[in-house]
Structure 1
Amino acid sequence: MMKVALGAAAELEKEGISAEVIDLRTIRPLDVPTIVNSIKKTNRLVIVEEQWPFASVSSEIAYNVQKDAFDYLDAPVRRITAADAPLHYAPNLVAAALPDVARTVKLVKEVMYQKK
């Protein structure tokens, strides 16, 4: 998902929106201080994850953020995850189920309250 996140950040940069991308190399231990420090700078959080939304790493990140950085948020935490359905083998169905640059850019704009 780093390619998706970096691709979305590049597209957003073309429109004057600076996005900070964090590559969480491990989930245990989860680097919560890095996430909180980013939120203190940006006041927003969009999580891009290839996992299903239920009981995922993004759920744990969202929990930690609301616990440790809620007062810094200017918008709700948003997640873009895989579709909550079994993953297919057909390439077109896989592409429709997983996060991509266009949907990530759209979600970031929603968090920025820009519906273009």
Structure 2
Amino acid sequence: MYNEQHFRNKLTIHKFCEVLVDELLNLKPTSLRVSNSEQPLENRFQRRQTIKHKLEETEEKCSRNRKKRKRCVECYTKFSKELGYKEALNKAKKVTTFCSLCPSQPSVCIQCFEDHLKK
């Protein structure tokens, strides 16, 4: 499809897929070079390392063989500022999801994940 319209800059299928994925994920634009060997391997995939946050589900189990739930950090801080820490302990959501790319791997609910992305 790309090669039909841009016959001078032919792309390999692999490179076309990379460009397509980058475009769909709104990553940094890639240069449309024909040969991949011009760039070192680290530089070719560097643009994909710009993702700072990723929401994953924990595999930790409690003593009753259920997934371990922790308080959402964003909900807890919001409620503790408004109502105090005692009320925040009761009102903050308990979730099994966390941000796997942050160093502290904080527990975050799906609703608060967008707020967490801004940090």
- TM-score, normalised with respect to structure 1: 0.22
Structure that is richer in helix per residue: 1
Task: Indicate the structure whose relative CO is greater, using CA pairs within 8 Å and at least 6 residues apart.
Answer: 1
Bigger Cα Rg: 2
